[in-house]
Amino acid sequence: WYHVKDALLEGGTPFYKLHGTSPYAYYGTDSRSNKLFNNAMADMSTLVMKKIIDSYKGFEGVNTLVDMGGNRGASLSMIISKYPHIKGINFDLPHVVTDRSDFPGITHVGGDMFVSVPQGDAIFIKSVFHNWDDEHCL
């Protein structure tokens, strides 16, 4: 809650006002914060993915699936456990995929989705749009 008032009155984000950088740039320099954030994202994904996998059938015809912003690959591993024919590519920032979990059928690729994206039959995007302004989301 530090700097919330400043951010509301002056613009910007409390995190930037406190650390002088964006959260993801900061996580790239602080391994403890990076690990804590990655754990939180993986735990949240597990809850959401159970429902998606139970109800969504769109993965049946996919051979190669790219999970954009896939963190450690937990969501992709849940998809592949139900659809083992899928070759998974977990794509996230380099400092994120270095703290990855190794799952069968998943290749981890570090990079910047605004520069280039690995090739696949389909792209899975979940819990990433909150990071950017409208221009980058479109």
Q: Which residues have a catalytic role annotated?
A: 130
Contacts of 67 (CB under 8 A, 6+ apart): 73, 75, 76, 88, 89, 90, 91, 123, 124, 125, 126
Length of the chain: 138
Considering Cα of 10, then 11, then 12, then 13, what sign does the dihedral take? positive
> Which token pair is 50?
């159970």
> Which token pair is 54?
């139970």
